[in-house]
Amino acid sequence: MEQRFFCLRGFMKSGTNWLGGLLNTHRNISVAGEFHFENVIAGLDQMLGNHYLYQSQPELASQVRARLESLIKATICDATHPDTLLLGDRTPHSIEPVTLPNAPHVSIIRDGRDVLVSRAFHLFNNPQAHRLFTRIPEMAKTWEHFKADPWFFKKNPDRLLCYEVMVRESGIGWSKQVMADQTVNERHPDLPVKFVRYEALHADCAGERRRVFEFLNIDPDYCDPIPDHLQPGFAVERPDEFFRKGAVGDWRIYFTDDTKKWYDDAAGEALQHLGYSDQPDPGGRLI
């Protein structure tokens, strides 16, 4: 049978690692990441759209795009098990720019407020990876407390999200991506897309996994049982590790009145549109 490819997408800290692990329990699926081909695709699309040579010779432009697609597939093969039937590119990013135009896309969505909490812990565990700690000197001081005591935020929950810039920037980034993904079929009507809610995966892990297998057109029964480390959440929280807690609704512990206001200003419309807000959604849900 011919080898096929798919893409696994989602905003950072939304569960792409978890869902990728669950899909890897299928004996005919191999998922790997993070490739971040979107950086290459965005540059290529700009080049093809801006230069006369490619605009005047659309067949040449198509050939260039096809060769890059072949290179991307070869790279995925190199990073996965190449004798597997279905190979996946797991990259926490938006669906666009579309890396593999004819491949099915699975996108996981998580409540942006829980994403913010997970991202904040991730930042404090990896301060060297982000310039926020130089932009916000007080944040660097808080990191010293966390470094000395991994349970610092458990004891001082109001200190995790007390930085307005971090909260607003995270909310804006999440909102822009999830809202753009919601309308991707308007721009790519032939692109097969399935959205998976992190919360639904938490509530019915086996059922959601099966539904993704069915969407990918692969035998949902040809898989292994879900191992303990891929079950929803963790029995013990691990604040100083990459996979910390895996909880739903954890934001209620850490959101102060200020945090709620900042985040609602930045992402309230998206929360409401996706049904995460306590307020009714006037526009209806797309999922």
The full 3-state SS of 166-189, as one line of letters, equals HHHHHHHHHHHHHHHHHCHHHHCC
| 20 plus 94 within the same structural domain | yes
| 50 plus 162 within the same structural domain | no
Average pLDDT across the chain, whole number: 91
Write out pLDDT tens, residues 32-55. Answer: 989 999 989 999 988 988 888 988
| 155 plus 248 within the same structural domain | yes
| 244 plus 207 within the same structural domain | no
Helix (H) or strand (E) segment spanning residue 87: strand 86-90
- pLDDT at residue 168 in the model: 97
- pLDDT at residue 286 in the model: 35
Residue 179 lies in a domain: no
Residue 130 lies in a domain: yes
Does the structure show a pLDDT above 90 at 7? yes
Say how far apart CA 151 and CA 129 lie, in whole Å. 21
Write out pLDDT tens, residues 263-274. Answer: 999 999 999 999
Residue 96 lies in a domain: yes
Does the structure show a pLDDT above 60 at 280? no
| 12 plus 66 within the same structural domain | yes
Residue 247 — pLDDT band, cuts 50, 70, 90? Answer: confident
175, 172, 179: which is closest to 195 by C-alpha?
179
The residue that leads in pLDDT, 280 or 239, is: 239
Residue 49 lies in a domain: yes
Q: Range of 158's domain?
A: 113-173+235-273
Average pLDDT over residues 163-171: 96
* Residue 220 belongs to domain with CATH number: 3.40.50.300
Residue 166 near residue 132, CB atoms below 8 Å: yes
